[in-house]
Amino acid sequence: MVSGRPAGFLVEHLAGPDGGGTSPVRLFGLYGMEEAGADGSVRLAPAAASWLPVVADVAARIGADAPTGVLVEVKGAAVTIHWRRDPEAEAWVTGRVAEAVARTGLVHHPGRASVELRPPLGIDKGTVVHDLTVGCRAACFLGDDLGDLPAYAALARRADQDGTDVVGVAVRDAETAPEVLAACDLVVDGPEGALAVLTWLAGAAGAAGATGSR
């Protein structure tokens, strides 16, 4: 799993049934800048470490005079500024983000009523998906936001390069951007739709294993 949330958050919420902080699924946080180990420990990409003070400084500067409805979410090597609670603050956020980008070299990534600032490392969901699907005969990715577009593109490249069978799934809700729907192969509605896809995939994989298919 690759998420925009910190890997520590994923470990906390996706720990195994024993609650021991382990997960049977590989967990990547901050769009691939973090990876959780089998024991729940989190490893930050070495190239991102030097950017931690920069991100912290930007977060502090923006948070110091942010309008009441603006949330500054610090995530270690990334910071997300949300304006959902105050739609009129979008222009203020956009301006402050532009200043931060010009001053620091951080890269801005649009999201749902938000914008995220991350180091210019060339790491995103697409690079993770590309690496994880090496040698796979089939791959599926579920997403719902603009940050998932690189993952859909990575699937398409994998299909072109290796003939891998791929499916990009968009989990739609009222805020899903048109670009996300256009980039995928299948659209499902909400968490229930995503769960139905995952349940079907798990069942199909189990059936293939039972018959010896590969």
The whole-model pTM stands at 0.85
93: confidence class by pLDDT, cuts 50, 70, 90: very high
Rounded average pLDDT over 96-109: 97
Query: What pLDDT does 213 receive?
Result: 42
- Characterize the bridge pairing of strands 114-118 and 107-111: antiparallel
Rounded average pLDDT over 88-100: 97
Domain that holds residue 39: 1-43
In angstroms, rounded to a whole number, what is the distance separating the alpha carbons of residues 143 and 113? 17
Q: Are residues 64 and 109 in the same domain?
A: yes
Q: Are residues 139 and 84 in the same domain?
A: no
Q: What is the amino acid identity at position 78?
A: A
Residue 211 has pLDDT above 70, yes or no: no
Domain boundary pick from 67, 90, 118: 118
CATH code (residue 90): 3.30.70.1020
- CA R_g for the chain: 19
Rounded average pLDDT over 102-116: 95
- Structure tokens belonging to residue 173: 């809700």
Cβ-based neighbour number of residue 141 at 10 Å = 23
User: pLDDT tens across 68-85, in order?
Assistant: 999 999 999 999 999 999
Residue 61 has pLDDT above 50, yes or no: yes
